[in-house]
Amino acid sequence: MRNEELKRNVWIEKLNDFSELVMFKHSVFSLPFIFIAMLVAAYLDTGSGWFGWKLLLLGTVAAVSARNFAMGVNRYLDRDIDILNPRTRNRPSVDGRVSDTQMVLFILVNALVFIGVAYLINALAFALSIPILLVLGAYTFFKRFSAMAHLILGVSLGLAPIAGVVAVSGEITAWSVWLAAGVMFWVAGFDLLYSLQDMEFDKANNLHSIPSKFGAKKTMLIARAFHLMTVIFWTVFVVSAQLGIWAESAVVFAALMLTYEHYLVNKDFTKIDRAFFTVNGYLGFVFLFFIILEVA
């Protein structure tokens, strides 16, 4: 019994290490918007927002495996950078809790799971699976030579609603592109605010980011512009999909939450974590809640 308990504890500890490696709790940023797209697609196709238990399961596994792949690639390739940064040097990829071999296997397994799930969904999803993985893995490379890395991260999460509508409808619709564009600027905007923490580190280590290139004040202005674009694109999404008052309310509440986020960061840079994790985490679920009301 003692040996079995020790083995179980080792497995639990290893799972916790991998969860920390990919910051699993931050899946809240991408999951709501794949479901928003799936709900709206089903609603417009059939008049019912429900797309079935099979797609719910496959959509969830696809979103989680895609994000695990992206985070795994990022952590694996950023080991040389993370070990130098006081904020990141205690990550499992740096301190040895997760070995290089384990990370590579983790990346490969999640890539294969994502491709396999895409195959089970439909032909278009399968055809797009490898290109999507290539985009997801690109972020880590971009920040080494371009300040546009923030937008690449935005594109990565913006693929979630595209994947959602492909899963349900087997096509890419105009309204899903507007929804995705809003997600792209939303993510890029809050990544700019988060990157303010590493502004001096990026300068010292020749890493490309908008904060290190333009400074905190201009970064704040650019982040506000990105989030204004977010609200505009989500408004166009609602109009394009011909949704009603509840979807419109989703955009209004998202705008209020983004305003509050900028208020927090502008007032005190030590509130960046609260703005990044709490406000943005709730935003996706608030948006999803209103869309559920819309399609119900």
Give per-residue pLDDT as tens, 184-193.
999 999 888 8
Question: Considering the chain, what is the average pLDDT of its residues?
Answer: 85
Helix pair angle (53-77, 123-142), 10° resolution: 20
Pinpoint the residues of the chain covered by CATH 1.10.357.140.
46-136
What pTM was estimated for this model as a whole? 0.88
Give per-residue pLDDT as tens, 104-127.
999 999 999 999 999 999 999 999
CA distance 171 to 177: 11
Q: 84 vs 17, 70, 78, CA distance in Å?
A: 20, 21, 10
CA distance 148 to 139: 9
According to the CATH classification, is domain 46-136 in 3.40.50.2000? no
**Band of residue 235 on the pLDDT scale cut at 50, 70, 90:** very high
Which amino acid makes up residue 92?
P
Give per-residue pLDDT as tens, 188-226.
998 888 888 878 887 777 777 888 888 888 988 999 999
According to the CATH classification, is domain 143-296 in 1.10.260.40? no
Pinpoint the residues of the chain covered by CATH 1.20.120.1780.
143-296
> Does 167 have pLDDT greater than 90?
yes
